[in-house]
Amino acid sequence: MLHAVLIKGAFQDSVTLMLLSRDLSTLPDVKSVAVMMGTPANKDVYRDTGLWHEALAAATPNDLCLVVDSDGDNPDIAASMAAQVKARLTELAHSRRSAGFPVARSWRRARQLLPEANVALISIAGHYAFEPARQALEDGCHVMIFSDNVSIEQELELKNLARSRGLLVMGPDCGTSIIGAAPLAFANRIPAGPIAVVGASGSGIQELTSQIARLGGGITHALGLGGRDLSERIGGISAVCALDFIARDSASRVLAFVSKPPAPAVRARVLEAMQALGKPVVALFQGEHLARRHGGVHLVRTLDEAAALAVELSRVDANASALPQVQGRGICGLYAGGTLAAEAALLFAEAFGIAPDTAHVGGYLLRANGHRIVDLGDDAYTRGRPHPMIDPSLRNEMILGLAGESAIGVLLFDVVLGYGAHPDPAGEVARAVSALRAARGVGAPIIAIATLTGTAEDPQGLERQIDTLERAGIVLADNVRAAVLLATHAVIANTSPEGEAPALLRARPAVINIGLRGFADDLHANGVKVVHQQWEPAAGGNERLQRLIAQMQ
């Protein structure tokens, strides 16, 4: 049997409602419970779930509705419900008084209490989210809308307004942002680091940033866009704004992006903005089966791949900054292993947007734009002499031959250990590289990047081989892919736009929180200046009256 109680004018957020619901479910003989505000949409839910009670007919959006289905026969159950809920509300009000941050009843009052506020975090029911968002934008604040069920027309109107004022709208339906370590809504504690994250997916951002943390990486900011931002209708307005912000933020050295596949026109626009960043980019367009690379943008397929590559790119960036600035922008790869050479050629071709050499004449696997990758195990080089893994003399000669070729700025090669191979391949190549550097002089530095194929058990002694390379100033990459990333980074000029970082990203934000009170608690706990605006539907939820009031303001 259904029992209902209305508590008039007692607006609560959805988390408080959940807590109340849990309390009521402890009453004896309760089969099911539903605790909601009396909005039209919620009344529908009561009807759809068989929990409609005629007492609800009179409820307004500001009225707390309690409905319990009990199979017992307790005549006092309604009274118990009301007593229990009121006691809990008193308890909550008491605990909230000591929260440590101010509470306001209106936007105007909240602004007075926190004049430096620059972000509004809105998590009230989506039906009501437009008006406070518009007001915040008009007042010069960026907006994050956690709420879903905001119409796409309203979203477009808010984003156009924001664009005209240089402001960012995160959302609607934006679960997660982290700005200057301030957790906005659902957010994890992520160490500071050089990776910026932008995404149209809350749990995607949470998983990506958590995995970045687990891999020892860190973030500057994580900016949510909301799930519809990359639709044709919205056109990626917030994505373009967020990418522009990240472009101008010099602390952000690498970008990781996650979303569903954007609408085709938006995809092109977003990729263009990514290319213009002048920073390495990893993009996960979830579910897209396309190429792995679009110019400087690495396209990946899963969240773990995105996190691993973002962390790797941030380390490549850090390592590259320790390398000499080279004048020559050409890359020369001299490989004894054919498959290693081929992998390098394929990855460079992709990175530079050029075609690998398919004829392979003279062992060339790539020869274009001043770059070349050679397989020295090719028949062209093994006539009348042992394989280059055994006999390093030809490669040594070719390395020395780079003395006069100042257009080559990066030399790549493999060092292959194991049975059958030369007893000291690192020593051989290290001597050649040192001789090359001596011949080129300090005016024409060259970066030398090796990969090492071998294990700690190999007869040449892995540690000794590594040590030999390092002492010769040769950079050791973990694998061919990593070597190509580093080499590419070293020869591609940084084209990052000039200018100051956007104010939003220069310091921890100051936030006006409208909706779920817990979000304000979390911000406060993280040292973020926050005012909680205790929102409730204006004019008791009467929409005609609300529109009238809005027109008068």
Report the distance separating Cα 423 and Cα 443, nearest Å.
Answer: 34
Whose CA is closest to 492, among 409, 374, 399? 409
Q: How far is the CB of 292 from its own copies (least distance, A)?
A: 7
Give the CA distances from residue 510 to residues 141, 347, 364, in Å, rounded to whole numbers and listed in that order.
Answer: 10, 44, 58
Count CB-CB contacts under 10 A for residue 281: 27
- CA 483 from chain center: how many Å? 25
Judged by beta carbon, residue 19 or residue 82, the one nearer its own copies is 19
- Position 214 contacts its own copies (CB under 8 A): yes
Cβ atoms of 198 and 222 closer than 8 Å: yes
Q: Which residue has the tokens 């959940």?
A: 18
Q: Which amino acid is at 212?
A: I
Judged by beta carbon, residue 14 or residue 80, the one nearer its own copies is 14
Interacting residues with its own copies between 340 and 369 (CB under 8 A): 340, 342-343, 346-347, 356
Out of 74, 80, 84, 188, which residue is the one contacting its own copies (CB under 8 A)? Answer: 188
Q: How far is the CB of 146 from its own copies (least distance, A)?
A: 9
Interacting residues with its own copies between 478 and 507 (CB under 8 A): 478-482
- Position 386 contacts its own copies (CB under 8 A): yes
- Position 258 contacts its own copies (CB under 8 A): yes
- Position 215 contacts its own copies (CB under 8 A): no
Q: Which stretch binds its own copies (CB under 8 A): 95-103, 106-114, 379-387, 500-508?
A: 379-387
Burial per residue of 336-362, b for 16 or more beta-carbon CB atoms within 10 angstroms, e otherwise: bbeebbbbbbbbbbbbbeeebbeebee
Tell me the β-bridge partners of 283.
Answer: 257, 299
Q: Which stretch binds its own copies (CB under 8 A): 95-103, 108-116, 284-292, 541-549?
A: 284-292
Out of 154, 211, 465, 468, which residue is the one contacting its own copies (CB under 8 A)? Answer: 211
Q: Which stretch binds its own copies (CB under 8 A): 52-60, 89-97, 98-106, 198-206?
A: 198-206
Tokens of 387: 């394989």
- Position 300 contacts its own copies (CB under 8 A): no
Interacting residues with its own copies between 57 and 116 (CB under 8 A): none
Interacting residues with its own copies between 20 and 39 (CB under 8 A): 34, 36
Q: How far is the CB of 389 from its own copies (least distance, A)?
A: 6
Q: Give how many residues touch its own copies by CB under 8 A.
A: 91
Judged by beta carbon, residue 247 or residue 530, the one nearer its own copies is 530
Q: Is the dihedral of CA 261, 266, 271, 277 positive or negative?
A: negative
Out of 9, 31, 45, 105, which residue is the one contacting its own copies (CB under 8 A)? Answer: 45
- Position 537 contacts its own copies (CB under 8 A): no
Q: How far is the CB of 229 from its own copies (least distance, A)?
A: 14
Report the distance separating Cα 155 and Cα 152, nearest Å.
Answer: 5
Q: How far is the CB of 399 from its own copies (least distance, A)?
A: 17
Interface mask toward its own copies for 311-340; x: CB under 8 A: ------------------------xxxxxx
Interacting residues with its own copies between 423 and 452 (CB under 8 A): 451
Cβ atoms of 2 and 53 closer than 8 Å: yes
- Position 232 contacts its own copies (CB under 8 A): no
- Position 155 contacts its own copies (CB under 8 A): no
Report the distance separating Cα 471 and Cα 361, nearest Å.
Answer: 35
Peptide linkage before 388 cis (omega within 30 of 0):
no
Helix (H), strand (E), coil (C) string for 33-82? EEEEECCHHHHHHHHHCCCCCHHHHHCCCCCEEEEEEECCCCCCHHHHHH
Judged by beta carbon, residue 130 or residue 146, the one nearer its own copies is 146
